Chain A
């Protein structure tokens, strides 16, 4: 299994409070991703990173920000949590493409269940 951990694994917070979720990898993969999973919507990409300090928006980025100061850590911040951000959040990693782009398989962490009350 790819070495990906997420913390915390469960969190309950109140509307309006800031929340930071952490993803940590030991694989030295270049690409890291944050997804959210909701019933009826499947997984949707929030933000991704293609290197230290290099990030970009995904499909559902409003209300979220990210930071990556080290290869191994990718942080997702909810600046002011809302009930609509209650979800399960998954981090994923992917290899840096080499010659021929490689397989680009994505590996996922165990998830963080966030409840905003």
Chain B
């Protein structure tokens, strides 16, 4: 059974710092991995999706990498801003076309001004 873990559970950094969020999964037979952002009391916003054949994806200050063989993905945030404060969730699709996602419990990020 696929299990997804995110470490750390919470992180506080000063504004401007570069940071890395970690996601690990137990079964390397994944179809894709998706990173989401969730603001308090809100829904999930998709940030990046990495297909199993890809190594990384970039969007603005965000870069996500995938190492299937070691069961790990990282989300790199460059030059963090207070507006980046949110919970970041990673989710793994092991189901192919049905796209059933298995979620980690998230990392709560606080960027201090």
Contacts and interface: CB of A to CB of B under 8 A. Distances in A.
Contact of A42 (B89, B98, B99): B89
Contact of A110 (B31, B42, B93, B99): B42
Nearest to B6: A42
Nearest to B42: A110
Chain B interface, >50% SS class: strand
A50 B46 contact: no
Nearest to A43: B103
B98 A103 contact: no
Contacts of A62: none
B73 interface: no
Given A42-B105, A108-B44, A109-B43, A31 B34 contact: no
Given A31-B99, A42-B105, A45-B100, A104 B31 contact: yes
Given A42-B89, A101-B96, A111-B43, 7 more contacts: A43-B89, A43-B103, A50-B98, A56-B98, A104-B31, A104-B49, A106-B34
